[in-house]
Amino acid sequence: MRKPLGRGLDALIGNAAAEIETGAEDSGGGQFKMAPIGSIAPGEFQPRINFDKERLAELTLAIQSQGIIEPLIVRRIDAPESDGPRYELIAGERRLRAARAAGLETVPVVVRELDDRAALEMSLVENIVREDLNAVEEGLAFFRLFDHFGLTHDQIAARVGKSRPYVGNSIRLLELPQPILNMIAKGELNAGQARPLLSIESTEAQLSAARRIAAVGISARGAEEMVTANRPRNTKTAVSRAAADANLNALAEGLQRALKRKVRIFKRRGRNPGRIEIDYYDDNDLTAVAEILLGNTRASMRA
């Protein structure tokens, strides 16, 4: 005899199936329906970059056996009437990939009316709840909400159910060199092991420490102790540098608020020149940054 489902799960699946058949609305105002799998385009705001092949293969087998229990979340996109409705995926990338691999022709979806920011937030929250994002993917998604959509760290934290320091630390992790970010994405380092590397000044030293942590399997606490032990002992220099760093950080935050984009200030030792980095999202955003900077320059020249 087949073991019955729990009452809550049984009711959930039963209700979902009924609503998909009737085209009823869900509690969020979306409409349940069956959609041709070919009508669903990948999500522009999908925060996940890496997909585990073994877990995807397991999900494919499960879908071949049981079908898709939880509907995908999509939004309608413009398409010629003769082609029928077209959709953009918001949440359920793994389920969609596995459904394609399983040979399904149609999949259950919930069609929601969402703008770009809401689409990114929903996709991000779903992946965080499922613990499917690595620290780099999570940081990039948080940064996009901050940089592209103008949300503060407090607002992002409220929307994704995390603390403000968690959001800030996730975004700050992106300041590490790309090879270290690649190590995090591959699972060779976790966020706790990598975060202490931010306090190391030279890129070469950061990479060397990261490789040692990964090779030996040093814990996050051990990584902190290792980095602290290798810091310069000159107290006066350290205090002076900390004060300078605090001033630069305050200046960078002020520029970020004015430009609404990520700004980094790098000050080299001695008389060597430093540099300022301003992130931009795409070519249009680069043009917008240039217009802001050139506008400020022209205004000061007129004054």
The domain spans of the chain are 7-129, 248-303
Mean pLDDT across 271-288: 76
Which amino acid is present at 38? G
Q: How confident is the model at residue 180 (pLDDT cuts 50, 70, 90)?
A: very high
| pLDDT > 50? residue 131 | yes
Give, as one character, the DSSP assignment of residue 41: E
Residue 93 a catalytic site member: yes
- Lowest mean per-residue pLDDT among 23-27, 30-34, 257-261: 23-27
pLDDT, one tens digit per residue, over 132-164 is 678 888 888 888 888 877 888 888 888 878 888
Lowest mean pLDDT among 37-41, 88-92, 131-135, 177-181: 131-135
Specify the CATH class of 7-129 in words. alpha beta
Among candidate residues 167, 130, 178, the one with its CA nearest the CA of residue 145: 167
- Min mean pLDDT across 4-13, 15-24, 181-190, 200-209 is at 4-13
**pLDDT tens, residue by residue, 237-264:** 444 554 556 677 777 777 877 777 778 8
Mean pLDDT to the nearest integer, 213-226: 88
Instruction: State the pLDDT confidence band at 287, using cuts at 50, 70 and 90.
Output: confident
* pLDDT value for 194: 92
How far is it, in rounded angstroms, from Cα 88 to Cα 98? Answer: 17
Q: Please list, in sequence order, all residues whose beta carbon lies within 8 angstroms of the beta carbon of residue 24, skipping any fewer than 6 positions away.
A: 18, 31, 32
Catalytic entry in 19, 21, 44, 93: 93
Residue 261 CB contacts under 8 Å (≥ 6 apart), including other chains: 147, 278, 279, 280, 285, 289
Return the higher-pLDDT residue of 301 and 209.
Answer: 209
